């Protein structure tokens, strides 16, 4: 099986020095990439900037901005059977990027922002016979928001987790199918969760059998 994995954050620059981003460490995505390689899968990893070495044996693509991640994923996805989208992309970017470095003015400034392109939704639209598994990190109304994301972005499954996962080596996740059912739950080290997820996908992706099999 050849799969695409997205990992890490993206950055949107205010000027040549400062940027908007989030606290994603990339650990979950990299752990899944390593678990998939150990399972004998062919892994294509598209990663934002993280302080982790590229997993051995993966086809690795480094990106920085959301637009770069979108372009790379849409170019690589057609050669894959599915995608696991763990990346925490930046949802907004400045309308204009300042050349050089902004200087203090002694007063407040206003930065006009616009939404970035939706990487996961784009992959959902173009998936065809491929499968799409997204991640939803939610703080308020977590299950409701995760279900909305699953349907809006045309995912086959979505993993619900919470902000405590950011920067941590542990996680607690719920795997939800396209019919809104919880089909698996895992907690503990991200490496352990990654191995369980890869095993589950290996059993269920071909048949699209969304019931938990143990």
- End-to-end Cα distance, the chain: 21
Among residues 109, 68, 110, 107, the alpha carbon closest in space to that of 89 is found at 68
Mean pLDDT, range 10-34, rounded to an integer: 95
Mean pLDDT, range 172-183, rounded to an integer: 93
pLDDT confidence tier of residue 105, bands split at 50, 70 and 90: confident
Judged against a pLDDT cut of 80, whether residue 212 lies above it is answered with no
pLDDT at site 12:
97
Tracing tokens 């990299």 back to the chain, one arrives at: 30
**Domain residue limits, the chain:** 2-93+112-204
Mean pLDDT, range 184-208, rounded to an integer: 90
Q: Are 50 and 8 in contact (CB under 8 A)?
A: yes
Q: Span 2-93+112-204: which CATH code?
A: 3.40.50.10300
What's the pTM? 0.92
Judged against a pLDDT cut of 90, whether residue 166 lies above it is answered with no
pLDDT at site 207:
57
The C-alpha angle 172, 176, 179, rounded to 5 degrees, equals: 165
Judged against a pLDDT cut of 90, whether residue 174 lies above it is answered with yes
Higher pLDDT, 8 or 168: 8
Judged against a pLDDT cut of 50, whether residue 210 lies above it is answered with no
Judged against a pLDDT cut of 90, whether residue 140 lies above it is answered with no
Instruction: Single out the catalytic residue among 22, 145, 154, 162.
Output: 22
CA distance 7 to 9: 7
Counting every residue written for the chain, the total comes to 214
Q: Judge whether 161 counts as a catalytic residue.
A: no
Kindly give the residue spans of alpha helices, DSSP state H, lying in the chain.
27-38, 66-76, 119-125, 142-152, 190-204
Judged against a pLDDT cut of 90, whether residue 17 lies above it is answered with yes
CA distance 182 to 174: 7
Q: What percent of the chain has pLDDT over 70?
A: 96
């Amino acid at each position: 099986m050849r799969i695409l994995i997205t990992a890490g954050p993206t950055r949107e620059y205010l000027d040549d020095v400062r940027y908007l981003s989030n606290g994603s460490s990339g650990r979950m995505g990299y752990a899944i990439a390593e678990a998939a390689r150990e399972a004998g899968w062919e892994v294509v990893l598209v990663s934002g900037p993280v302080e982790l070495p590229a997993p051995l044996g993966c086809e690795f693509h480094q990106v920085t901005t959301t637009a770069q991640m979108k372009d790379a994923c849409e170019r690589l996805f057609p050669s894959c059977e599915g995608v696991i989208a763990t990346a925490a992309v930046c949802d907004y970017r400045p309308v204009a990027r300042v050349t050089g470095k902004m200087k203090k003015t002694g007063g407040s400034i206003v930065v006009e922002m616009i939404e970035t392109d939706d990487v996961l939704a784009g992959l959902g639209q173009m998936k065809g016979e491929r499968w799409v598994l997204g991640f939803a990190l939610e703080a308020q109304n977590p299950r409701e928001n995760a279900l909305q994301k699953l349907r809006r972005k045309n995912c086959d499954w979505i993993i619900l987790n919470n902000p405590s996962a950011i920067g941590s080596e542990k996680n607690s996740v719920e795997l939800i199918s396209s019919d809104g059912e919880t089909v698996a739950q895992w907690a503990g080290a991200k490496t352990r969760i990654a191995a369980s997820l890869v095993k589950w996908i290996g059993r269920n992706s071909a048949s699209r059998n969304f019931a938990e099999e143990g």
